[in-house]
Every structure is written in structure tokens, then in C-alpha cells.
Structure 1
């Protein structure tokens, strides 16, 4: 189905059993909660999805199960984070074969490519596939920034359509919009900058804490887009301590702990990750418990 790069797109977690196998029942329970909340797409195999530890067969199983479950109600996007151009092209081919509707792409992993190498990497993948692509621009965590000049070159490929904007610089949204207008859709990729990004004109939000709190995430987006900033900001302020769990090296463990609290997941992670322990676990639990005790009532919300 066609990908419309807007709205809330959860970067979903991958659910595991105690035997370290995929827990598809729990995974699809979470997907259903996302759909009921009104998300605009599902993104598989990102950092939150623990993609670096997934086997190819597991990625196929997740894509096929998600595509079958959503029944074309929303597009299914899979992340590509590969070490080689050859590997990225193969991943794109596999994604299309498995039934994915689009790709989210990081620059090459492990090697800090030059601007020319990065543009060539994205270009070769774009040339190899018909699937629409959202480039994940996260120089803070991955060390490579996709600059305006680089986008200017890349946008000759019609299937490069969107950017997951994670530079942490809100003004970059304005620069992108001034440079490329509506040709490049902009989705916020940092939970703690989501409201500000919507006000600045972002088209959507690739979200993390949505995995545990889908309704609140979608409400913030819808209210902000409707110009109801006061209402959106009230929920956002409540949400902020939780959103800060996403900008942390243990974001996977943090968000999975939040999923447990809302009945949408388990704590099982794949080694070398391990569940939170000690004082850090207690700190995160306190944040979650405080948020749940003060959870906003959304039933009275209307969107003008």
C-alpha cells in the first residue's frame, strides 16, 4: 500500500519469550493497541526492535505477521541498518519480498562514511528498489549527518521521500522545509522534541514511548496538528518524564518496562541486553508509577 509519511509511526519493540524466541502473540497484542489508538504506520526492526540481534528469519516472520495483522490498514515499514551496500540492497529486496510497504534507512553501520560515500550508499539502495524510503538522520547516535546538500542530491530519487529528523536541532525542520518544501516529508525522531517539532511544521512522529502509551502519543500529535496547543502541551508535560526514558542507552529496557506496566509487553530482551536491575530499575519504575498515577483522561478530548 502507499506510504503517507505523516502521523504517529511507532518504532515497535520486538517481543521475546523466556526461551528467547519471538513472542508473536504478545507482539500482535501491542500492534493491535497501536492500531486502535490511530497510528499511521508500523516501523519494525529499529533500535527499539533490537534489530542488531535479530536473525534474518525472525525479521521475515515479524514483517509477514505484521502485514497479515494490519490488513493494509496502515503501511508496514522495516528499518535497514547494514554494514555494507551489498547487505543493504539485499535487505531492501528481502523487505519487498516479505511484504513491507517501505523502508527506514540508516547510513552505513560501524564505518563512519564520508558524505560522498553516504550519498552513494543511499543512492545505490534507492536505485535497487521500488519501495519508498525514509532516511534516518541521527548524527548524535550514529556519527553521520545527512546535510541539506546531501539531501539535495538524494532527492533526485523519487522513492526517497522522508526523513526521520533526529539531529536534536529543531531549527533543522525549518531549514529542510525552506529547502525542499513538501518534497521531503519530515518526521520527528526524538520523543522529547515531538511537540516542538509539530509546532515547527513536522509532518509526523516516529515514536518510542508510544509502545506503552499509544493513545497519549496520538493525542499529542492530533491536538498539535489541530492547533490545540494548550491541550497538547498539558499531555506532553505529563508525558515528558516518560519520554526521557527514550533518550537513554537502556531505552529498550526502559520502554519494555513501561510496556509491562500498561499490559502491552514483557521485559524480555535479547542478550547482551539484560533487564534493568538495582537502583536504576527502581528509578525507572518510580517514573512509570508516578505517570500512571497521574495519567490524563483522554475520553473528553475533541479535535477541532
Structure 2
């Protein structure tokens, strides 16, 4: 699978749990089929929305296996490979490759408060040895370091450098990344609340947690923007901006997504501690908006 074939809307999966707290792989498969039927271009698993750091090693492996089997080659599968030390990240990438993933997503080492140059230095050996194309996830809110376009340029020496998921929230960052990195690296919108803004700047796709909730609407917006139908895209954005903004602004956004999915008939169970639980009012507001948009039980 070539880099250029991995574009468009990548739905970011949750990890559903049963009432007793076990991973619910049957519900996971149902959720995958739902987003595939809506036309998403890929699935990204084991990111923050998927509660990756709350899973055991065996749960992680079981989820990847189930995802690969369920998707069955219909779209690319990206697996989050996040750990503190570079060799641990590389080991996760090797596992994902052996299980059949299409690509890996990595972050800079989190918590350490690294300077950008040190963060890139930690990523470089990971990309140098990766068996898979790599998406570098710029998420300064979680990692404590904002990787500017110029900071990422040294990674261009690595053939595995496939893409950037950009979540800084800076309004012009997509355009700046495309200018600095050229046509050989795909740039994905990662901040759902800036999706349309990113599309106008030439983003190659959208890694969208919101598309696990409302996949058809997210796919529709992306297709309209890609085809240059900006009038229709603005109308679609007017419908989507409210719920996407609510999700992004809520500190309990993972719980909010999962609880809303439960109200739509896809029971997800609770988030694992220490993640916070979304309020009843927030869930009610989001579900009402989604139902107005056509999402049904």
C-alpha cells in the first residue's frame, strides 16, 4: 500500500468495554462495520480516544488482531504506537507490522517536557528502523512539546516518514506544514474543530475522533472539500461545527463520545480510570444534536 493511497477520513476508534470492564471485541467489530459502511478511508486505533495507555499488553494485541481481521483489507489501518522510550515505540511498531497494520502513529516522548529538537532526536531512530509508514502526531497539549514545521524537516531523511497528524490548534499550521515538508509527506487535520479550515489549506485528510460518532457527515464534508464544492462544504460545516466543538472543548471528551455512542445503540461501557466521566447534560446536548443531523439508534 503506497503512501499516496492513505488519504481521506480516518475514523479514530474507541475501545468498548463490557459492564464488568472487559474489552468488548464484538461491539468493536460492530462499530468498525458502521464506519466502513459510511465510507471512511481508514481506521486509526489505539490512540488517546482508544484509551491505549489503559490497556494491558494482551488487550492491545487482541484489539489489533480483531481490527485487522474485521477490516480485512478494505481500508488502511493505522495503529497508535505510543511509549516513553524510543525502543519501546519501535517494539510496538514491530508488533503492529507483524499483525498486519498498514501504518503506525507515534508521538514525542510525553511528560518529560522535552525541547522540540530533543523530541525529534528521539523520534529519528524510530523512523529509521520502522517497518511501517509512520504518522507523527503533534499533540502539544498531551506531550508538552509543539513540533513546528521546521522542527520536523530533519525527519524527511527517513523513508518511513509518511504523515503528520496536526493538533496544535494553530489556524495556519496545515499550510505551514505543507510548505515546509513538501509533497512527500501527507498532512492530516487532527483538531476536529478546525477541520474545514485545514481543508482549505490543502490537508490530505482528517484523523477524526468525531467520525466514530457521525461518520457519514464527516465523510460528506471531506468529499465536498476535496471536490472543491465549498458552498456545500460550508453548509455541512454549519451542521457539524457545533457537536465537534462541544467534543473538543470537553475535558471528558472520550467519555462523551462513548456515552453518546451508547445512546445511539452502540454500548461502550465506562472509560477506565483515571479518565473523567462526561456529565449527563453534555451527553444529552450532544445526542440531541446528532439526532437532528440524522444519527439514529
Which of the five TM-score ranges fits, normalised by the shorter chain?
over 0.9
Which residue in 2 is equivalent to 1:201? 202
8 Å CA contact retained: 2:18, 2:24: yes
8 Å CA contact retained: 1:191, 1:246: yes
C-alpha separation between the residues in 2 aligned to 1:85 and 1:164? 19
8 Å CA contact retained: 1:148, 1:176: yes
Q: Structure 1 stretch 125-134 or stretch 282-291: which is displaced more?
A: 282-291
Which residue in 1 is equivalent to 2:78? 77
8 Å CA contact retained: 1:126, 1:157: yes
8 Å CA contact retained: 1:253, 1:269: yes
The size of the alignment, in residue pairs, is 293
CA-atom RMSD, angstroms? Answer: 1.7
Which residue in 2 is equivalent to 1:239? 240
Q: Structure 1 stretch 34-43 or stretch 256-265: which is displaced more?
A: 256-265
Which residue in 2 is equivalent to 1:56? 57
TM-score, length of structure 2 as denominator length: 0.93
Q: Which runs of 5+ in 2 are unaligned?
A: none
Deviation at 1:288, TM superposition (A): 1.9
TM-score, length of structure 1 as denominator length: 0.91
Matches within 5 A, 1:285-300: 285-292=284-291, 294-295=292-293
Matched, 1:39 2:25: no
Deviation at 1:251, TM superposition (A): 0.8
- What per-residue deviation string (whole Å, max 9, x for no partner) do you get for residues 21-60 of structure 1? 1101111111001111111111111110001101111111
Shift in CA distance, 171/222, structure 1 to aligned 2, threshold 3 Å: same
Shift in CA distance, 163/141, structure 1 to aligned 2, threshold 3 Å: same
Matches within 5 A, 1:7-22: 7-22=8-23
Q: Which runs of 5+ in 1 are unaligned?
A: 298-304
Matched, 1:117 2:118: yes
Which residue in 1 is equivalent to 2:271? 269
C-alpha separation between the residues in 1 aligned to 2:202 and 2:70? 32
C-alpha separation between the residues in 2 aligned to 1:87 and 1:296? 43
Which residue in 2 is equivalent to 1:26? 27
8 Å CA contact retained: 1:235, 1:296: no
C-alpha separation between the residues in 2 aligned to 1:283 and 1:206? 23
Query: SS in structure 2 opposite 1:241?
Result: helix
Q: Structure 1 stretch 136-145 or stretch 43-52: which is displaced more?
A: 136-145
Shift in CA distance, 243/223, structure 1 to aligned 2, threshold 3 Å: same
Which residue in 2 is equivalent to 1:213? 214
Shift in CA distance, 290/148, structure 1 to aligned 2, threshold 3 Å: closer
8 Å CA contact retained: 1:5, 1:187: no
Deviation at 1:226, TM superposition (A): 1.1
- What per-residue deviation string (whole Å, max 9, x for no partner) do you get for residues 44-90 of structure 1? 11110001101111111111111111111111111122111221121
Candidates 240, 247, 250, aligned match of 1:248: 250
8 Å CA contact retained: 2:174, 2:203: yes
Which residue in 1 is equivalent to 2:94? 93
